[in-house]
């Protein structure tokens, strides 16, 4: 009874809760306002069904889960039965969220420890609990309505908050999209800027390259224009000088008065040559054939101009003007001429040309001894220096070669064929300037390479030809590549093999000195060649003196003298002074 009264006198507060925060506030409010001391709190977990299942009934079904509610009727250590409303399992709610009953553990502990308070439960107790429950129905309904209104307000707040968040999210997404678009635009602009920068840089490099090429082209063009101007100036100067030379009378060049030679008629020439008989023909060159004849009881050589000879008339006039006004023991002597037909009459040279003697053309022609070769070299240099020192203007031979060096019966060498010789300004003799010719002349392998390339003529153009000819004197070899072969043999120590094998008693040391001097004369560059009067001729005179000292008594006393005009003659002793020769006269200009 006491227990029934106590139970009936007390009240049980029930709170319906759901899976939201509002239920927590409702439970707290019920504890603070509705639950007096020593009263029980009943938490009811509500699970709503779907709208389709709840239509028509209007009744909210709920489940009372004693697993989550600490019952006031439970004794410690005793089991109890739990009853659930069908289709109202709300265990998933309590599993994920903390239950309200865990907020008040002390209250539940008091209920558990009050073992005697609920020990005698009977039907009357049950009825008392039912009556107390019914007495609280109205208050529970009031609270349920209030709770629903609060839940509705909370739902509205949540929806409002959701809308606000969605709006903010939308705005954020719009801002992000705008930022992405701006970033893409900036990236594209950066790429375009980079591309433009690369194009500008490439354009700048191309412009610099074009500028450099243009500058280089302009410099080359200026050099070309400057070279053309210099060349035109040189041509004009050459033409001016040539005009002055052509206008100058022969007397102004070689002295006063007419040319000093005898004039022959064509009838005299035809009679002397037996109407140009082939039996009297002893040679032929570019100018024309040469006949051995006799005029005025003197052995002569007559050179007849070919009708089709290139520049033959000019060569004839040049040779007549030069040889008729100069005299030198090492220059061939012009005896007369037939101007109407271009015939030249020279003294007869019994031993022919140096080319014939070196290569032993003709019957019974002995090889030239080395002593005689040294003498011939000195005589050629002496005659050439005479031409270069002609006054008032020097003469350049331009066609110096063994074929134009003639040997008389005493093997005295004389320079012939001066038809290509040219007068050059006096300054050329001092190696200050060069005289430009519009066309080069000479023989291949003997012509000055610098003169051949540039047309600039100077007295050292003859020095190159002299060097090649001197090398042939000691080697008796063709001129092609001769300088290369001789220089290589000197470097390798095989120079004796280059000497003419027809001579067995070569003085190798003196011959090598002779060859080195000849190589110096045959330098490719004109400025590298030695001076004829200061270097070349003094050295050759020393070698000639050495050769005269080495002559055998047989040669000195002339035991091999005599001979005919066509072949080899005898050796007649000669001293170093050319004036002792039979046909020698002092060098002079008439």
DSSP assignments along 6-44, one per residue: HHHHS-EEEEEE-SSHHHHHHHHHHHHHT--TT-EEEEE
Cis peptide before 159 (omega within 30 of 0): no
Cα-Cα-Cα-Cα dihedral sign, residues 303, 307, 313, 315: negative
- How crowded is residue 334: how many other Cβ atoms within 10 Å of its Cβ? 24
Q: How far apart are alpha carbons 329 and 221 in whole angstroms? A: 54
Mean pLDDT by 10 residues, the chain (590 residues): 42 77 79 72 74 44 46 43 43 45 47 44 50 54 61 81 91 93 93 91 86 87 89 83 62 50 91 92 84 92 81 80 87 91 92 91 84 96 93 85 93 86 54 44 80 85 95 94 95 95 93 96 93 96 93 53 40 40 33
* 290 sits in which H/E element: strand 289-295
d(CA 381, CA 330): 9
User: How remote is the C-alpha of 17 from its chain's centroid?
Assistant: 94
Q: Is there a catalytic annotation at residue 66?
A: no
Non-local CB neighbours of 351 within 8 Å, separated by 6+ positions = 357, 406, 407, 408, 409, 411, 563, 568, 569
DSSP β-ladder status, 422-423 and 395-396: antiparallel
- The helix (H) or strand (E) run that includes residue 281 is strand 281-284
- Confidence (pLDDT) at 384: 95
Q: Phi first, then psi: give them for residue 292, nearest 5 degrees.
A: -90, 125
Beta pairing, strands 281-284 & 262-263: unpaired
* Distance of alpha carbon 39 from the chain centroid: 109
Return the HEC string of 329-383.
CCECCEEEEECCCCEEEEECCCCCEHHHHHCCCCCCCCCCCHHHHHHHHHHHHHH
Cα 383–Cα 387–Cα 388 angle in degrees, nearest 5: 115
Can you say how many angstroms the Cα of residue 50 is from the centroid of all Cα atoms in its chain? Answer: 90
Q: Which fold has domain 349-589?
A: Transferase(Phosphotransferase); domain 1 (1.10.510)
Cα–Cα nearest to 416, from 485, 330, 355, 522: 330
Q: Is the pTM of this model over 0.75?
A: no
| Interatomic CA distance for residues 443 and 76, integer angstroms | 147
d(CA 200, CA 207): 10
CB atoms within 10 A of CB 467: 23
Q: Say how many C-beta atoms besides its own lie within 10 A of residue 47's C-beta.
A: 19
Torsion over CA: 353, 356, 362, 366 (sign):
positive
Active-site entry in 101, 399, 408, 448: 399
**Residue 575: per-residue pLDDT:** 45
516 three-state secondary structure: helix
- At the fourth CATH level, the homologous superfamily of domain 254-348 is Phosphorylase Kinase; domain 1 (3.30.200.20)
- Domain residue spans of the chain: 2-48+59-135, 254-348, 349-589
* Complete DSSP assignment for 44-77: EE-----HHHHTTT-----B--TTTS--TTPPTT
**Exposed (0-12), middle (13-18) or buried (19+): which is 497, by Cβ within 10 Å?**
exposed
Identical topology for domains 254-348 and 349-589: no
Residue 523: predicted pLDDT? 94
Distance CA 572, CA 578 (A): 13
For residue 370, what pLDDT is reported? 95
| Secondary structure of residue 518 in the 3-state scheme | helix
Contact call for residues 13 and 40 (beta carbons, < 8 A): yes
Q: Which of 343, 582, 555, 380 is nearest to 466 (CA)?
A: 380
Rounded CA Rg of the chain: 70
């Amino acid at each position: 009874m006491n227990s029934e009264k106590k139970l009936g006198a007390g009240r049980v507060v029930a709170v319906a809760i759901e899976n939201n925060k509002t239920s927590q506030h409702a439970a707290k409010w019920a504890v603070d306002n509705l639950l007096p001391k020593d009263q029980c709190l009943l938490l009811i977990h509500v699970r709503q069904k779907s709208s389709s299942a709840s239509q028509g009934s209007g009744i909210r079904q709920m489940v009372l889960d004693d697993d989550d509610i600490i019952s006031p009727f439970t004794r410690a250590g005793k089991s109890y039965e739990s009853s659930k409303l069908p289709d109202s399992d709300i265990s998933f709610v309590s599993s994920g969220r903390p239950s309200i009953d865990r907020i008040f553990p002390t209250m539940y502990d008091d209920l558990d420890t009050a073992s005697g308070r609920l020990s005698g439960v009977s039907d009357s107790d049950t009825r008392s609990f039912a009556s107390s429950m019914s007495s609280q129905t109205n208050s529970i309904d009031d609270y349920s309505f209030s709770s629903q209104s609060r839940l509705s307000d909370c739902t509205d707040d949540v929806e409002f908050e959701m809308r606000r968040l969605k709006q903010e999210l939308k705005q954020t997404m719009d801002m992000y999209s705008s930022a992405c678009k701006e970033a893409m635009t900036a990236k594209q602009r950066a790429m375009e800027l980079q591309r433009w920068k690369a194009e500008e840089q490439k354009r700048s490099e191309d412009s610099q390259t074009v500028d450099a090429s243009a500058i280089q082209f302009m410099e080359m063009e200026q050099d070309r224009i400057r070279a053309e101007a210099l060349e035109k100036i040189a041509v004009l100067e050459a033409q001016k000088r040539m005009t002055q030379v052509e206008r100058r009378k022969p007397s102004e060049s070689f002295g006063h008065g007419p040319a000093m030679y005898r004039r022959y008629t064509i009838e005299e020439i035809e009679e002397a040559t037996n109407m140009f008989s082939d039996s009297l023909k002893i040679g032929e060159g570019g100018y024309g054939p040469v006949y051995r004849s006799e005029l005025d009881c003197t052995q002569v050589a007559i050179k007849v101009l070919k009708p089709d000879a290139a520049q033959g008339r000019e060569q004839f006039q040049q040779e007549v003007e030069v040889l008729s006004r100069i005299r030198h023991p090492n220059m061939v002597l012009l005896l007369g001429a037939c101007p109407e037909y271009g015939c030249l009459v020279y003294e007869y040279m019994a031993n022919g040309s140096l080319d014939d003697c070196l290569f032993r053309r003709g019957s019974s022609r002995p090889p030239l001894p080395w002593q005689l070769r040294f003498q011939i070299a000195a005589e050629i240099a002496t005659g050439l220096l005479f031409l270069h020192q002609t006054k008032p203007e020097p003469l350049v031979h331009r066609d110096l070669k063994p074929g134009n060096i003639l040997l008389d019966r005493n093997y005295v060498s004389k320079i012939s064929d001066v038809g290509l010789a040219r007068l050059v300004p006096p300054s050329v003799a001092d190696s200050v300037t060069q005289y430009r010719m519009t066309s080069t002349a000479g023989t291949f392998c003997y012509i000055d390479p610098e003169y051949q390339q540039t047309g600039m003529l100077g007295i050292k153009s003859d020095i190159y030809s002299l060097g090649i000819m001197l090398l042939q004197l000691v080697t008796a070899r063709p001129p092609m590549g001769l300088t290369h072969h001789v220089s290589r043999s000197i470097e390798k120590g095989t120079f004796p093999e280059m000497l003419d094998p027809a001579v067995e008693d070569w003085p190798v040391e003196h011959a090598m000195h002779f060859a080195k001097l000849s190589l110096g004369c045959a330098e490719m560059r004109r400025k590298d060649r030695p001076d004829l009067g200061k270097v070349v001729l003094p050295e050759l005179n020393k070698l000639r003196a050495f050769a005269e000292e080495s002559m055998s008594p047989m040669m000195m006393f002339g035991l091999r003298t005599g001979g005919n005009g066509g072949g080899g003659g005898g050796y007649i002793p000669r001293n170093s002074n050319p004036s002792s020769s039979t046909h020698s006269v002092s060098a002079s200009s008439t």
